[in-house]
Amino acid sequence: MTARRDTAFDRALDWIGGKLAARLQEESSGYRPFTPSDFDTLCRTLRPGDVVLVEGNQRLANAIKYLTQSTWSHAAFYVGDVLSAPADGSERPRLVEVNLGDGCIAVPLSKYATYNTRICRPVGLTPDDRDRIVRFMVDKIGLRYDMRNIFDLLRYFFPTPPVPVRWRRRMLAVGSGDPTRAICSSLIAQAFQSIGYPILPDITKECDEYVQREIYHIRHHSLFAPRDFDLSPFFAIVKPTLADGFDYRRLQWAHDRKTPAR
């Protein structure tokens, strides 16, 4: 394959794309997580194959939350201990995610220790299929986002004017080339589709004289958003506090404390 030569125009697109990406990754001021998960409990609860939804606080995150009408702006995939620990002794990366500017990367779980998160767990996966989707995601590490797709980046700067609900999801798929590499949920959707596992398929009903059948149709992966794993009837919502064992009788409420005698 012949290597593509970079022209002055290409370099200009790279520069503009880098500037746009940097703006989209700026954090919003005043963001405070409402109920961040207890990190130790989160670590004990996660299993390979789980999808971790994150409420982000970047400009890109705000755009995605608006376009999808959801609190969840990002999705990462938990791969467990299949990746090697860094030689410097730092935390082992256990999440694979797609980020604007970085592409597909592996990150430690502690990256989201202070964020609002939700665990979405596929139900009934066979061990072989779980290994296959984990391998699918690991094999994508290093996939880059083409910063020259300026059209892909510009769509996230204009979410605030009123946009009809029926158009919002389509706005996530606007662009050229591979328009959804900045959307983390797209790659995760591809992983599950590779083993035939449903997320939110289109369903049509066919009836004959005796039988009514539901026929499942695969949605294109570019149309999936983080919230779809939350809404899917095929993913269980796992709450670490409950999974770790919860007894409401052990809670200490402020009004139960005795006022010290003076």
Contact 96, 48 (CB under 8 A): no
Model pLDDT for residues 98-153, shown as the tens digit of each residue: 887 788 999 999 999 888 899 999 999 999 999 999 999 999 999 876 665 655 66
Give me the mean pLDDT over the 85-108 stretch: 90
Continuous segment of H or E residues that includes residue 204? strand 202-207
Give me the mean pLDDT over the 162-175 stretch: 54
Topology of the domain covering 17-243: endopeptidase fold (from Nostoc punctiforme) (3.90.1720)
Reported pTM: 0.77
Neighbouring residues of 78: CB distance < 8 A, sequence distance ≥ 6: 46, 47, 48, 49, 50, 51, 52, 94, 95, 109
Cα–Cα dist 214/204, whole Å = 6
Quote the distance between the C-alpha of residue 142 and its chain's center.
Answer: 17
Tokens 């001021």 belong to: 29
pLDDT of residue 64: 76
pLDDT of residue 59: 74
pLDDT of residue 225: 83
Model pLDDT for residues 36-59, shown as the tens digit of each residue: 667 888 999 999 999 999 988 877
| pLDDT category of residue 180 using cuts at 50, 70 and 90 | very low
Mean pLDDT of the chain: 78
